[in-house]
Amino acid sequence: MPRLDGIAATRKLIENDPALRILIVTTFDADQYVFEALRAGASGFILKDSSPEQLVVAVRLIAAGNALLAPARPRRLIEAQVRQRGDGPDARRARPFQTRRALSCTGGGGRL
């Protein structure tokens, strides 16, 4: 975009009308970009290489008041938050994928 990037444009639009629902459609698949877009007020985030069907579903979901993240994005965001928070008790509770993997390596019920 010539004058503003998508995040700056989102921020300005939301400042003028907080009820707007904005779907970011982008080529950028970086966690930091997603965080910034959500902080700016975007309701959803999807990649430009998504299928036409996925784009239609995304627009409908956002228009209906829901939130949306591109497929595979939620797990990456959760993992990024866990890494950011460290290894305290709350972080350990937020790692169900790693816990399941560890339990399966012990036969499902062994001691870790």
pLDDT digits (tens, 9 = 90+) for 59-70: 999 999 998 887
Please state, in angstroms and rounded to a whole number, the distance separating the CA atoms of residues 50 and 70.
Answer: 8
pLDDT, residue 80, reads 67
String of b and e for 22-46 (b: at least 16 CB within 10 Å)?
Answer: bbbebebeeeebbebbbebbbbbbb
Is the pLDDT higher at 57 or at 74? 57
Residue 65 phi, psi (nearest 5): 95, 5
Tokens at residue 32, please?
């930091």
